[in-house]
Amino acid sequence: MASFQQRKAIGDAHERYVAEQLIGRGWEVDFWGQGLLSRALQCALRRTDSSIRWFPDLIAAKARELVLIDCKGGMTSQRTGRHAIERSAVQAHLQLVAWTGLPVYYVFDGLDVWAPHDVLIAGQEGPHSVVGSGAPYFLISAQGARRFNDLFGAQGLPELGMAS
């Protein structure tokens, strides 16, 4: 079982990778959420039930489109091909969508993309686990995910209709 620090390193690397992929598609990207806070504040948030502990990792804009992205590195089972998402995160992200009117997307390894509503509808409750935080979670198949390129554009291709 990986330690918290090992899981965090995987997550941090995945956040950087997703940000690079978005930038390569012409998006402006900033890191957002808990990752920008001091360790003391991160620890304090982890001890609360506040939905702000689930703020997505990235905020990205392209033209008039603005999206929030929660990166899910290392959350896919190689054996079953399913992604795991903590149920509290899905609930908080549904509230965030309602509050902000902005889409929230989960981006997994392999750049599979799901939205919180999709997870709520298609996900299955996972069995209780002692791995990681041990919190209740949803499992959703990697099959049927949205394609990163369909949502965020193909890497390095010029925009149609844009002046050169």
The predicted structure's pLDDT at residue 134: 65
Q: Return d(Cα 71, Cα 142) in angstroms, integer.
A: 15
pLDDT attached to residue 43: 87
Q: Which fold has domain 4-152?
A: Trna Endonuclease; Chain: A, domain 1 (3.40.1350)
pLDDT at residue 160, rounded to an integer: 46
- Please, are residues 29 and 152 in contact by the beta-carbon 8 Å criterion? no
- DSSP secondary structure, 123-156, as one string: -EEPPP-SSTT---EEEEESTTPEEHHHHH--TT
Q: How many residues does the chain have?
A: 164
For 53-69, how does the pLDDT look when each residue is reduced to its tens digit (9 = 90+)? Answer: 899 999 999 999 999 99
CA 141 to each of CA 88, 122, 145, 148, 160: distance values in angstroms, whole numbers, following the listed order: 19, 9, 8, 16, 33
Global pTM reads 0.87
Two tokens at 26? 């012409």
> What parts of the chain have a pLDDT lower than 70?
1-4, 128-134, 157-164
Alpha carbons 116 and 119: distance in angstroms, whole number? 5
Residue 52 CB contacts under 8 Å (≥ 6 apart), including other chains: 45
Residue boundaries of the structural domains of the chain: 4-152
Contact of 140 with 126, CB cutoff 8 Å: no
